[in-house]
Amino acid sequence: MEENDRPDMNLEEIPEEFHNHEGNVFNQCIMCGCDLFESGEDYFIERCIKKYKEFDKQDVIYEYATCSTCAEKMRKSMSVESLQRIEQYMFTHLTQNVQRIKMDKDEKMSACIIHGTPVQDMQEFTIQAHCRGNKLVNAIFPILIGEKAKEEMSELLSAQTKDEMDDFMDQYFTGPPEIREILRKRKVVII
């Protein structure tokens, strides 16, 4: 029996909200460029979405996929202080709200996993998924993190970690200076 077929794994098709802005599944790690399907390695998707209520529209601010090896490199690039603070923040909030972890995928995608704020009440939010091949690993992930939680986590980061995240955004998300500045204000959320 292959690992993807293990009965204890809750795998399902990757939902459209985790496809890229062109409507396709992510198939390449943004950092190392490995093929996410052929590598057999787990990977993570992060998408930051901004809503424009006055136009009843939303747009992707940034999106990317990283293989688990590169995600671990990113995590290790965080200062010890930042990592401890983020882990404590997540532990505190998620142990207080264990029922949010146990919700089904659709419920998780309808509100912030930290504060429970409904997605319709947010202007901006980040969604994250854990995937394997062309499947979503439906366990703790997927999750939705609202702007309030992102701001709180950003405040916990050391200057060193903020610099690392800015370097990540500068290296992998290019464009005109005004767009890069917008991206720098939105910290990548590493969990």
Pairing of strands 124-132, 143-146: antiparallel
Per the listing, tokens 């009440």 go with 121
pLDDT tens-digit profile of 45-92? 999 999 998 888 899 988 999 999 999 999 998 999 999 999 999 999
pLDDT in tens, 134-172: 999 988 889 999 999 999 999 999 999 888 888 888 888
Cβ within 8 Å of residue 173, ≥6 positions away: 62, 180, 183
Q: Is residue 191 part of a domain?
A: no
**31 pLDDT more than 60:** yes
Please tell me the total count of domains within the chain.
1
Q: Residue 190's pLDDT is what?
A: 53
Strands (DSSP E) contained in 22-170 are: 42-52, 57-67, 124-132, 135-137, 143-146
Q: What percent of the chain has pLDDT over 70?
A: 86
Q: What are phi and psi of 114, to 5 degrees?
A: -85, -55
Q: What is the pTM of this model?
A: 0.84
Is the residue at 75 inside a domain? yes
The verdict on residue 91 lying in a domain is yes
| 190 within a domain of the structure (yes/no) | no
